[in-house]
Amino acid sequence: MNVVLAPAPGRRIPRGLFGALVVFLISPFPGLCLAAPLAGRLLLARPRTGREWGWIGGALFLVVAGFAAERNLAQQLLIGYSLAFTGAVLALQRWRPGPVFPRVAVAAVDMATLISVIAWAAGIQWNEVRLVLETQFQQQLTDALAVWNVSSAQAADLRKIVAGLATVYPGVAVLGAIAGGMLSNAMAWYITGGRSGEEPVRFREFRFNDHLIWGAIVTLGLVLAPLRSPWSVLAFNMLLVWAGVYLARGTAVALSMVARWSLSFRLALFISGALLLPYAAGALMLVGLADTWLDLRRGHGPPAQGVMQ
């Protein structure tokens, strides 16, 4: 299943899709997981216009910039993961076309497993990678604090958050790959006028097989089990991926419910959610989980054609 906010064949890219792109870029997701698949999808569609070549050039510029930047151990692993993910997604699109979400998710998880096995075989330890990530993030925060005017207490809280981000970044990277893969597919469809693959459906119809809830339950059980590192860290990162997926589903349910509300009320709701982001995110994740059993969008219009039940 490919997901955008407003399908419109042969027209310009919707503003909602550009908004999703902005959210992706300001998130700690790896940019290569969007730029590389986008360039690949556009090239596979056999570009015909200057507009298409322009998008390809922009995406390839970001890919080359990622290669040209100074790289540490963690960044090298991330580049390898992004390229492996891109190859897997394009191969599945070409030889086994079908719903986008399950294929993107399978590619993201399988390639993360492959890179982890390769790193383990090369003798790379998780703590070594985590330390490199934390050092990089702390340096970036130090540079930002030189510009921001924050108190010492706030700076200490930010450093704790950064340390935690280094621990869960494998899960963040997998979520970024899933989001980047789906965004690249939707953008390629609009840029090429529909030649790149399956027609997108509205984001508010986003759903997936309800039986996947058992994977989330098993992962939660692993997190609660007395596992040692790095297995406990692996389980927590897996749970983060499930949380992100169900957060997206809950957000889609919420958008479906408020679609008929006035613009001013929706704007006020968005601002309130942004101000109370941790609580809003938790509530939306619970909504996504509840949708597994309750089908909360029933009565808010039939699912768009092509949505995987």
C-alpha 307/C-alpha 120 separation (Å) is: 38
User: What is the rounded CA–CA span in Å between residue 106 and residue 85?
Assistant: 10
Query: What total number of domains does the chain contain?
Result: 2
Output the six-digit token pair for 248.
């997206």
Do 132 and 222 lie in one domain? The reply is no
Q: Are 142 and 252 found together in one domain? A: no
Among 159, 184, 205, which residue terminates a domain?
A: 205
Block residue for tokens 């938790």: 282
Q: Where are the alpha helices (DSSP H) in the chain?
A: 15-26, 32-44, 50-68, 73-95, 100-121, 126-145, 152-191, 213-224, 231-258, 263-275, 277-294
Dist CA 306 CA 309 (whole Å): 9
Contact 29, 180 (CB under 8 A): yes
3 and 115 assigned to the same domain = yes
**Helix, coil or strand: residue 202:** strand
How close are the terminal C-alpha atoms of the chain, in Å? 10
Q: 131 lies in a domain?
A: yes
Is 228 inside any structural domain?
yes
- Shared domain for 139 and 247, answered yes or no, is no
Quote the CA–CA distance of 222 and 239 in Å, as a whole number. 9
Whether the Cβ atoms of residue 173 and residue 218 lie closer than 8 Å to each other: no
DSSP 3-state of 169: helix
51 with 106, same domain: the answer is yes
Q: What pLDDT does residue 273 have? A: 81
Domain's final residue, options 141, 170, 205: 205
> Are 25 and 131 in a shared domain?
yes
Same domain, 102 and 73: yes
Closest CA to 309 of 67, 26, 102, 119: 102
CA 275 – CA 269 distance, rounded (Å):
10
pLDDT tens digit at each of 309 positions of the chain: 544 444 444 457 787 888 888 889 888 899 999 999 999 999 999 998 888 999 999 999 999 988 877 688 999 999 999 999 999 999 988 887 788 899 999 999 999 999 999 999 999 999 999 999 999 999 988 888 888 888 888 888 889 998 999 999 999 999 999 999 999 999 999 999 888 877 777 888 898 989 999 999 999 999 999 988 889 999 999 999 999 999 999 999 998 888 777 778 878 888 888 788 888 999 999 999 999 998 888 765 444 433 333
Q: Are residues 178 and 283 in the same domain?
A: no
Residue 308 domain flag: no
**3-state secondary structure string, 2-26?**
CEECCCCCCCCCCHHHHHHHHHHHH
Please give the pLDDT value at position 7. 40
In this structure, are 99 and 201 located in the same domain? yes
Which residues, other chains included, contact 228 with Cβ-Cβ below 8 Å and sequence gap of 6+? none
Which range marks the domain in which residue 36 is found?
Answer: 1-205
In a domain, 309, yes or no: no
**What is the residue whose two structure tokens read 């399988």?**
110
Q: Look at residue 202 in the predicted model and tell me its pLDDT.
A: 81
Q: Which residues, at least 6 apart from 24, have a Cβ–Cβ distance to it below 8 Å?
A: 34, 176, 179, 180, 183
- The backbone region for 299, taken as left when phi is positive above 0, alpha when psi lies in -120 to 50, beta otherwise, is left
Where is the domain boundary, 143, 178, 205?
Answer: 205
Q: d(Cα 233, Cα 271) in Å, to the nearest integer?
A: 34
